[in-house]
Amino acid sequence: MKWLHSYEGFASIYDQLMDDAYDEEWFRFLHTTIKKHHPRCKKILDLGCGTGKIAVKMAKMGYSMTGVDLSEEMLAVAQQRLQREHLSSVRLIQQDMRELELNETFDMIYSFCDALNYLVEEEDVISTIKRVAEHLEQHGLFLFDVHSLYKLNHVYARGPIVQEDEELAYIWVPEIDFAAGRVDHHLHFFVREEDDLYRRFYEIHQQRVYSMEQWKEWLQSANFEILAITADFEEKAPLPESERIFFVAKKVG
């Protein structure tokens, strides 16, 4: 078995694991928000862009796109996607979101697929939100989604998740520190190779879940006006059993 750092091996199979339906939901959420809150939006930063699926879709719609991610492996997959799509206009930059420094501003910055939950220290969240504010035009939008405390306490707490087919199988074991709101995702992957043998590798992904009130406080402290808080890809306020919380905030100071 090979032990890998987060996303070192995951990057190569990430798109196989992610349901395309979710990509369409995030894409729909983006367009609904732009139409409602910032119809003149043109220049967008995808923070934690991963393999670039959403950034590519947005670029095809005519938006000026920049993608930032910490993972060199994820960006390599994203670059391959751009080459397949013959898109040279999307910029890909390797940076840590906590230290974002691009020397330019954007109409919108979004960070999807619980990327901000990887900030396991409160000072890292505060630093990231500050950096986002510095890279937004006045009245620019910040969109993101995060796990809810309900998901941590009731969904992850159910224990291991096992998924398998002929090409790929994985065992996902969450290890939870309920008091700290932290979860270590122990991921065991089995990937079919050309000789019909399976390559096994193992990664740990560490995340932390914060309350909605804490996110609101951090945003407001960074001079963001919160325009909407919804859940689970629906245009409705979060319920006690909601699992994924969406924020739409506008820079006002």
User: Within 44-121, where are the H helices?
Assistant: 53-60, 72-85
Residues 13-27 pLDDT 10s? 555 555 555 778 999
> What's the whole-model pTM score?
0.90
Residue 171 has pLDDT above 70, yes or no: yes
Query: pLDDT tens, 175-197?
Result: 999 999 999 999 888 877 777 78
**Whether 141 contacts 37, CB under 8 Å:** yes
Q: What is the pLDDT of residues 92-127, one digit of tens each?
A: 999 999 999 999 999 999 999 999 999 999 999 999
Instruction: Identify which of 56, 74, 59 has the alpha carbon closest to the alpha carbon of residue 9.
Output: 74
> 250: which strand partners?
141, 225
Mean pLDDT over residues 149-175, rounded?
Answer: 87
Residue 23 pLDDT: 78
**Helix or strand holding residue 48 (H, E):** none
Share of the chain above pLDDT 70, in %: 91
Rounded CA separation 12/21 (Å): 19
Three-point CA angle 197, 203, 85, nearest 5°: 75
Parts of the chain belonging to CATH 2.20.25.110: 151-208
Residues 34-83 have pLDDT tens digits of 999 999 999 999 999 998 999 999 999 999 999 999 999 889 989 999 99
CATH superfamily assigned to domain 151-208: S-adenosyl-L-methionine-dependent methyltransferases (2.20.25.110)
Q: Which CATH superfamily is domain 2-146+211-251 in?
A: Vaccinia Virus protein VP39 (3.40.50.150)
Residue that wins the pLDDT comparison between 92 and 8: 92
Query: Whole-angstrom Cα distance, residue 225 to residue 18?
Result: 32
Neighbours of 202 (CB within 10 A): 14
Nearest to 149 by CA among 111, 185, 181, 186: 181
Residue with tokens 């967008």: 44
Q: What angle in degrees, to the nearest 10, is found between the helix axes of 72-85 and 10-17?
A: 60
Question: Which part of the chain has CATH 3.40.50.150?
Answer: 2-146+211-251
